[in-house]
């Protein structure tokens, strides 16, 4: 019998639910969609990046050489504010969060988009913002091929994303691969997000949720077969 989402969550209630989960991956992979669903299922607060409200982002995609630094500093400040919100509530044992970003990826984007002088200035400013970082109990890293990312970016129709250069998206995907290849700060679940539809398919989402709530430590992979059917 296929497990329902509510049964999956209930079965883990006595085993130390995760208080903070971060969902990561390149543009278009489905981070925010999964974050919203997990927050509902786990009765957690969603912490969402609002890229559309970054006043420099659309200009960055058109002229990155001029607008990369202000766009990156805006993200740094908003991500820091979100992490401080989690840190201030850390003593409240009832508080739970799911975020659609990992704070340490801010430096990843900065190293990718800024030239040497800009990156030096960014690093100096970021150092002034140093604070005790709340580490997730689990990071869920979503992967998908470039053609899947392109299709999803086009289909969701955000005007400011339509001018993303293919070379930039390819570099970003490689940077994520390298980052998580060496990542060991927290438990990690690497998900092949191209073969499942966790947005609309309840069976796919339930399979992924079961993986997420069961992980306690280490590095794990979720690479489901799209042909796998629910048990009768």
Burial 51-64 (b: 16+ CB within 10 A, else e): beebebbbbbbeeb
DSSP state of 96: -
pLDDT of residue 21: 97
Give yes or no for residue 44 having a pLDDT over 80.
yes
The 10s digit of each residue's pLDDT in 164-207 is 778 888 999 999 999 999 999 999 999 999 888 888 889 999 99
Query: Is 226 a residue whose pLDDT tops 70?
Result: no
Number of Cβ within a 10 Å radius of residue 189:
21
For residue range 70-81, list pLDDT tens digits in order: 999 999 999 988
d(CA 120, CA 123): 5
Among candidates 31, 27, 68, which has minimal Cα distance to 48? 31
Assign domain 5-222 to a CATH class.
alpha beta
DSSP letter string over 163-218? T--HHHHHHHHHHHHHHHHS--SS-EEEEETTS--TTT-HHHHHHHHHHHHH--SS
Per the CB < 8 A criterion, the answer to whether 172 and 25 are in contact is: no
pLDDT at 171: 92
Which of 71, 168, 166, 80 lies closest to 129 in space, CA to CA? 80
Percent of the chain past pLDDT 70, that is, above it, reads 85
- Examine the pLDDT at 6 and tell me if it is beyond 80: no
Exposed, middle or buried: residue 79 (CB in 10 Å: 0-12, 13-18, 19+)? Answer: buried
Position with higher pLDDT, 163 vs 38: 38
pLDDT (0 to 100) of residue 95: 85
Would you say the pTM of this structure is higher than 0.75?
A: yes
pLDDT at 122 over 80: yes
The pLDDT tens digits of the residues spanning 124-142 come to: 999 887 667 788 999 999 9
Dihedral Cα 34, 99, 49, 157, nearest 10 deg: -10
Tokens of 153: 């970016």
Confidence (pLDDT) at 232: 42
- Give the residue with greater pLDDT, 4 vs 53: 53
User: What pLDDT is recorded for position 13?
Assistant: 47
pLDDT at 14 over 60: no
Instruction: Give residue 192's pLDDT.
Output: 93
Strand-pair category, 188-192 with 219-222: parallel
Q: Is 135 exposed, middle or buried (0-12, 13-18, 19+ CB in 10 A)?
A: middle
Confidence of residue 15 (pLDDT cuts 50, 70, 90): very low
* Domain locations along the chain: 5-222
């Amino acid at each position: 019998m296929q497990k329902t989402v509510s049964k999956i969550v209930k079965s883990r209630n006595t085993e130390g639910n995760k208080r903070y989960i971060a969902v990561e991956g390149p543009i278009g992979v489905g981070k925010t969609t999964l974050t919203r669903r997990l927050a509902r299922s786990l009765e957690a607060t969603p912490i969402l990046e609002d890229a559309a409200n970054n006043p420099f982002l659309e200009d960055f995609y058109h002229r990155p050489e001029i607008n990369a630094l202000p766009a990156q500093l805006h993200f740094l400040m908003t991500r820091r504010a979100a992490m401080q919100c989690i840190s201030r509530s850390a003593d409240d044992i009832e508080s739970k969060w799911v975020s659609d970003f990992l704070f340490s990826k801010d430096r990843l984007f900065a190293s990718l988009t800024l030239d040497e002088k800009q990156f030096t200035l960014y690093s100096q400013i970021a150092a002034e913002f140093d604070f005790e970082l709340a580490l997730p109990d689990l990071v869920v890293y979503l992967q998908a091929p470039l053609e899947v990312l392109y299709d999803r970016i086009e289909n969701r129709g955000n005007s400011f994303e339509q001018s993303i250069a293919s070379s930039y998206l390819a570099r970003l995907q490689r940077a994520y691969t390298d980052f998580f290849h060496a990542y060991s700060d927290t438990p990690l679940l690497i998900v092949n997000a191209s073969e499942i539809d966790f947005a609309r398919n309840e069976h796919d989402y339930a399979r992924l949720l079961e993986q997420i709530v069961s992980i306690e430590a280490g590095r794990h992979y979720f690479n489901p077969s799209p042909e796998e059917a629910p048990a009768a």
